[in-house]
């Protein structure tokens, strides 16, 4: 039996892992909860009454938000001239999240950008961690802003508190790594040598991670990244307001803002591809629980379905274009992601780099 023949069953077994089945089961449960009291005839009628012209600006705002995300990623990396690379790598990440479970889009975009921009792999991964922390922080700010205008459900408040604690602990931990980089590197080397593990390669990867966190110690970079984060999530609020406007003549901005908060917190949970199920339930309840006088389960689900279709179609198209531009494929990049050794192996030289689908 060849190496490829033995590798394929192993990759298949990882794909069918307990974690993947748990995510799918959770998504199916969410779908059942969202649809259980919604007659399909009433849902179809709600969808037929919508003014779909409002989806045109919704598409535009979502596309602009993706571009601003790419600009923020470029800023965090401190590398000029790679905006196109960050945009298409991010688009490929969206496509992988839509096609594979457990948020596989994150490693996909990291590997893609590292290959395209010739930046250190672990440094790119560290920038994504900082990016996610900025997202969580902005979402929490948005939650605080909505508090005076509505009664936030206790479940969302608890989730916000948990995310705030995680964010604070994570930020302090990352700042410690940046400030004490020499000490932590020496400690890591001593531990690896004591365990008789290959210290040089792992310490080199650790150094790349710390380098990727350097944006935290540069006030100008941090402020610019924070400002871009605020723009990103303001655009998402505008996106959801346009979708709401397609169904109601008088949507409130706080309704759109709370949908953003609830969905952002909900899709942090690993689930099936494209957040199917989790997205529908979270979006529906974000309108029904605090705004029950204006939205019932039927109209709220209709709004959520339309917004999810826009997200799914737009990001999938962008991701497919991105894969075509880098000369890759879903299968080729998936095989690279399933190789844990590439995350610890020494970084290849610039001369040895090859296109995405050939590695």
The pLDDT, as a whole number, for residue 356 is 39
Is position 138 within any domain? Answer: yes
Domain extent, residue 110, equals 26-347
Is position 125 within any domain? Answer: yes
Is position 15 within any domain? Answer: no
Torsional class of 188: left (φ above 0), alpha (ψ -120 to 50), beta (otherwise): alpha
The pLDDT, as a whole number, for residue 207 is 66
Count: domains in the chain: 1
Is position 208 within any domain? Answer: yes
The pLDDT, as a whole number, for residue 353 is 39
Two tokens, residue 33: 């909860």
Is position 9 within any domain? Answer: no
Two tokens, residue 100: 């594979």
Is position 358 within any domain? Answer: no
Is position 18 within any domain? Answer: no
Cα separation of 226 and 327, whole Å?
Answer: 33
Mean pLDDT by 10 residues, the chain (359 residues): 47 55 80 93 95 97 97 90 93 90 84 86 85 88 84 77 77 69 70 70 65 71 91 97 96 95 83 85 93 93 97 95 81 63 49 38
Model confidence pTM above 0.85: no
The pLDDT, as a whole number, for residue 357 is 39
The pLDDT, as a whole number, for residue 130 is 86
The pLDDT, as a whole number, for residue 13 is 46
The pLDDT, as a whole number, for residue 25 is 80
Is position 353 within any domain? Answer: no
What are the CA-CA distances from residue 167 to residues 162, 261, 312 (Å)?
9, 15, 28
Cα separation of 174 and 213, whole Å?
Answer: 7
The pLDDT, as a whole number, for residue 336 is 66
Closest listed residue to residue 212, CA positions, set 117, 105, 141, 97:
117
């Amino acid at each position: 039996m060849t190496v490829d023949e033995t590798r394929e069953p192993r990759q298949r077994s990882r794909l069918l892992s307990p974690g993947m089945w748990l995510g799918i089961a959770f998504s199916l449960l969410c779908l059942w909860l969202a649809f259980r009291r919604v007659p399909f005839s009433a849902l179809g009628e709600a969808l037929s009454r919508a003014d779909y012209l409002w989806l045109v600006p919704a598409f535009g705002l979502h596309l602009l938000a993706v571009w601003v995300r790419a600009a923020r990623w470029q800023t965090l990396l401190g590398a000029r001239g790679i905006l196109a690379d960050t945009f298409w790598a991010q688009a490929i990440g969206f496509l992988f999240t839509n096609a594979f479970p457990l948020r596989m889009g994150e490693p996909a975009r990291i590997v893609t950008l590292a290959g395209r921009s010739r930046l250190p792999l672990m440094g790119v991964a560290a920038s994504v961690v900082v990016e996610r922390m900025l997202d969580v922080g902005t979402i929490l700010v948005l939650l605080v802003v909505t508090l005076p205008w509505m009664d936030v459900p206790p479940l969302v408040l608890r989730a916000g508190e948990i995310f705030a604690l995680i964010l604070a602990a994570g930020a302090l931990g990352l700042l410690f790594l940046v400030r004490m980089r020499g000490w932590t590197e020496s400690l890591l080397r001593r531990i690896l040598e004591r365990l008789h593990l290959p210290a040089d390669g792992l310490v080199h990867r650790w150094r790349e991670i710390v380098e990727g966190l350097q944006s935290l110690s540069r006030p100008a970079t941090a402020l610019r990244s924070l400002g871009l984060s605020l723009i990103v999530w303001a655009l998402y609020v505008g996106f959801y307001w346009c979708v709401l406007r397609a169904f109601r003549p008088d949507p409130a901005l706080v309704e759109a803002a709370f949908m953003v908060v609830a969905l952002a917190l909900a899709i942090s949970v690993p689930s099936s591809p494209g957040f199917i199920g989790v997205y529908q339930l979270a979006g529906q309840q974000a309108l029904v629980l605090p705004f029950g006088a204006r939205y019932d389960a039927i109209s709220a689900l209709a709004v959520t379905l339309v917004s999810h279709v826009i997200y799914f179609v737009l990001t999938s198209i962008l991701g497919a274009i991105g894969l075509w531009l880098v000369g890759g494929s879903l299968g080729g990049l998936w095989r690279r992601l399933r190789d844990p050794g590439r995350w610890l192996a020494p970084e290849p030289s610039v001369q040895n780099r090859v296109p995405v689908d050939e590695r």
